[in-house]
Chain A
């Protein structure tokens, strides 16, 4: 806790905010990539401490939010199969599918277990040889590492009743995709520190050069985030565009090479569908041929699923930084945590959930993203 308290020290945070106010002479729109950062910003009211000209908008870094609806529907279909134990992280259970969510399947008798690590799912498979155990492998490079490790363990141990429903995403292609959009208004990025702890940050150099946009690798505590903003604004005010590493206590340039090798051993890069956003080339991971026997989608005879996401949820625009949750006509009216239209309202890291939960703090900032043009 000592280390957390240091990064939540009110005097240091206020001094950092004062420094940002001092050096800001323009309007800048910055995107925090990770949903964890979004929630920290809302929880601590950081936007209130920043000058009016600096707008923080939310990126596509919530794995629950970007998992496409057909994948949720597949998860629901598998979880409802008798003799299947379906294992998932807790915050996937409330995400709405086409007609119900995993919690409803559980209430109807589906054997759904909340796990805290994929290893728990593998242990369940070993303990229940007469059952088929499916793990919902969702997330970015952070979870891909643990998921790859467990799949390689399952292969070594020849566990033949363990499967994974894969929904893995890569962050860098998503940033690239946002930068390449004609309507992109993002002038600087706060990259997700925990993802970079795995990947390193060399890959951001070409992005910065090509799109002339600063990227600061940033942590998740209030002081981390304000320092990330300060570094970004300093670059923008002085006309620089560089990759900077604010999260030096966890991130190196090359990242965790052991984890990278493990991911390469189990997964291969593929085009990925992002909920609300659409297809992004080379932005996902699927199982390598050597691991195809663990693929839950191939193993279970699943019914065809609808790919319609047209229910009024504007999650795509929110995650691309084009709109804020308050811009949605359904926000806190027909869409709330007990009756969500989309995943961002139910995920622990969802932008809409953050705005709903801490909404008195953000009402003054709920306007559409400013029309400031990209430099």
Chain B
């Protein structure tokens, strides 16, 4: 007969199935690792739902799930992504982020130290973007049935301006402004995941966008549409928007910023930076008269100077995105059909 105690002496060092039981181990996980990091009166209600102060006619609500390998990558981690991703989705609707929920799916065996680092990072990201985590949930899956840690976040925000920000407001003659250079996040994650060593220290662009968006709206810029450039990158986002609003976008390749490190890594792997994911970049559609003010706000709000007006919205209803290259030749941008796969040679 095996009389060994089922709870080994180092039980607190890694996630165990008991942490998802809803019992004592779950409560200890919440009390020791989650509650102190996100301490606020709504979370302290410790109820099934958080009761929030609200004006009922200005709600903006979004949700997103985060699955990434590795959990930590140059310039960020899954926790920052989970906060900034939802904050940015709210910002792209012209909302000021207010409250966040967090669902954690933990894989048995995850070191608690790893969880703590992720949670601490989430708390800092929430502070940076002015959002408060008010409710959450924790589940544990058996070893081998997860990828260490998955996170779902949902966010609520309040609309800043009076007009909604929507693809249908994109007008002929609008300028298309890109908030920074492309591809840093996707290439940093790929380099980290695949063990590729590039000469440069490529860091993810993972960052909150709500601050600069609020400044643009509060400065009186008539922001018609915003879109963050996550999976599928700039090209896929613009193709979707062109189809949504039924207009043709004209871009100039020479004005689209891509840093040498990203360009070099893409050359090596046969990838197109226009399709590589970003986590801290957006495009804004504003009237031509507002370009100067928008660029001035970006100049003050961002650490680099790679933002640029990259194109304009044309008339008609052809729903295309046409890129004019440096040789004066046109290229029709399309959605990424699937995952970009590195080439053989």
Query: Which A residues contact B (CB, under 8 angstroms)?
Result: 1, 4, 8, 10, 13-14, 36, 43-46, 48-49, 63-64, 89-94, 114, 116, 120, 138-140, 142-143, 194, 222, 336-338, 348-349, 357-361
Name which of B101-109, B131-139, B164-172, B325-333 contacts chain A.
Answer: B325-333
Q: Contact residue range for chain B?
A: 20 to 34
- Complex partner residue of B344 from A45, A64, A336, A361, CB under 8 angstroms: A64
Name which of B13-21, B46-54, B224-232, B334-342 contacts chain A.
Answer: B334-342
Q: Which of B176-232 contact A (CB under 8 A)?
A: 194-196
Does B330 lie within 8 Å of A338, measured CB to CB? no
CB contacts (< 8 Å) of B326 on chain A: these are 8, 10
In the complex the two chains form, what is the Cα distance from A94 to B242 in whole Å? 28
B263 interface residue (CB < 8 Å to A) = yes
Does B344 lie within 8 Å of A138, measured CB to CB? yes
Does B338 lie within 8 Å of A348, measured CB to CB? no
Q: What residue of chain B has the Cβ atom nearest to residue A123's Cβ? A: B195
A selection of 30 A-B contacts at a CB cut-off of 8 Å is A1-B264, A43-B331, A45-B327, A63-B345, A64-B344, A89-B343, A90-B342, A91-B341, A91-B344, A93-B341, A114-B341, A116-B194, A116-B269, A120-B195, A139-B345, A142-B345, A336-B337, A337-B337, A337-B338, A338-B338, A348-B343, A348-B344, A357-B334, A358-B331, A358-B332, A359-B332, A360-B322, A360-B330, A360-B332, A361-B330
Does A361 lie within 8 Å of B334, measured CB to CB? no
In the complex the two chains form, what is the Cα distance from A14 to B325 in whole Å? 13
B267 interface residue (CB < 8 Å to A) = yes
Does B344 lie within 8 Å of A139, measured CB to CB? yes
For the complex, would chain B's binding face be called helix, strand, loop or mixed by DSSP majority? loop
B36 interface residue (CB < 8 Å to A) = no
Min C-beta distance of A226 to chain B, whole Å: 10
Does B325 lie within 8 Å of A89, measured CB to CB? no
B111 interface residue (CB < 8 Å to A) = no
Does B341 lie within 8 Å of A90, measured CB to CB? yes
B315 interface residue (CB < 8 Å to A) = no
CB contacts (< 8 Å) of A142 on chain B: these are 345
Does A45 lie within 8 Å of B331, measured CB to CB? yes
| Residue of A44, A64, A120, A138 most packed against chain B (CB within 10 A) | A44
Does B342 lie within 8 Å of A116, measured CB to CB? yes
Q: What residue of chain A has the Cβ atom nearest to residue B267's Cβ? A: A4
**A94-B344 in contact given A4-B267, A360-B322, A361-B331 (Cβ < 8 Å):** no
Does A48 lie within 8 Å of B329, measured CB to CB? yes
Min C-beta distance of A14 to chain B, whole Å: 7
Min C-beta distance of A17 to chain B, whole Å: 8
In the complex the two chains form, what is the Cα distance from A93 to B269 in whole Å? 15
Q: Which of B249-294 contact A (CB under 8 A)?
A: 260, 263-264, 267, 269-270
CB contacts (< 8 Å) of B330 on chain A: these are 45, 360-361
In the complex the two chains form, what is the Cα distance from A349 to B338 in whole Å? 16
In the complex the two chains form, what is the Cα distance from A44 to B325 in whole Å? 7
In the complex the two chains form, what is the Cα distance from A10 to B334 in whole Å? 24
CB contacts (< 8 Å) of B342 on chain A: these are 89-91, 114, 116, 348
CB contacts (< 8 Å) of B260 on chain A: these are 1
| Residue of B196, B322, B331 most packed against chain A (CB within 10 A) | B331
Min C-beta distance of B332 to chain A, whole Å: 4
In the complex the two chains form, what is the Cα distance from A206 to B62 in whole Å? 67
| Residue of B267, B326, B341, B342 most packed against chain A (CB within 10 A) | B341
CB contacts (< 8 Å) of A94 on chain B: these are 338, 341
CB contacts (< 8 Å) of B344 on chain A: these are 63-64, 89, 91-92, 138-139, 143, 348-349
**A360-B343 in contact given A45-B325, A348-B270 (Cβ < 8 Å):** no
Min C-beta distance of A259 to chain B, whole Å: 13
Min C-beta distance of B200 to chain A, whole Å: 11
Q: Lowest 3 A-B CB distances belong to which pairs?
A: A45-B329, A90-B341, A360-B332
CB contacts (< 8 Å) of B264 on chain A: these are 1
Q: What residue of chain A has the Cβ atom nearest to residue B259's Cβ? A: A1
CB contacts (< 8 Å) of B337 on chain A: these are 336-338
CB contacts (< 8 Å) of B322 on chain A: these are 360
In the complex the two chains form, what is the Cα distance from A89 to B344 in whole Å? 6
CB contacts (< 8 Å) of A349 on chain B: these are 343-344
CB contacts (< 8 Å) of B343 on chain A: these are 89-91, 348-349
Q: What residue of chain B has the Cβ atom nearest to residue A89's Cβ? A: B344
- Complex partner residue of A360 from B325, B331, B341, CB under 8 angstroms: B331
CB contacts (< 8 Å) of B196 on chain A: these are 116
In the complex the two chains form, what is the Cα distance from A337 to B325 in whole Å? 24
CB contacts (< 8 Å) of B267 on chain A: these are 4
Q: What residue of chain B has the Cβ atom nearest to residue A8's Cβ? A: B326
**A194-B325 in contact given A1-B264, A337-B337 (Cβ < 8 Å):** no
Does B345 lie within 8 Å of A143, measured CB to CB? yes
Q: Which of B20-64 contact A (CB under 8 A)?
A: none
CB contacts (< 8 Å) of A336 on chain B: these are 337
Q: What residue of chain A has the Cβ atom nearest to residue B336's Cβ? A: A337
In the complex the two chains form, what is the Cα distance from A297 to B14 in whole Å? 43
Min C-beta distance of A199 to chain B, whole Å: 14
| Residue of B332, B334, B337, B342 most packed against chain A (CB within 10 A) | B337
Q: What residue of chain B has the Cβ atom nearest to residue A10's Cβ? A: B326
CB contacts (< 8 Å) of A63 on chain B: these are 344-345
In the complex the two chains form, what is the Cα distance from A4 to B338 in whole Å? 28
In the complex the two chains form, what is the Cα distance from A5 to B328 in whole Å? 16
CB contacts (< 8 Å) of A120 on chain B: these are 195
- Complex partner residue of B341 from A49, A143, A194, A348, CB under 8 angstroms: A348
In the complex the two chains form, what is the Cα distance from A1 to B195 in whole Å? 22
Does A13 lie within 8 Å of B329, measured CB to CB? no
In the complex the two chains form, what is the Cα distance from A138 to B196 in whole Å? 21
Min C-beta distance of B99 to chain A, whole Å: 37
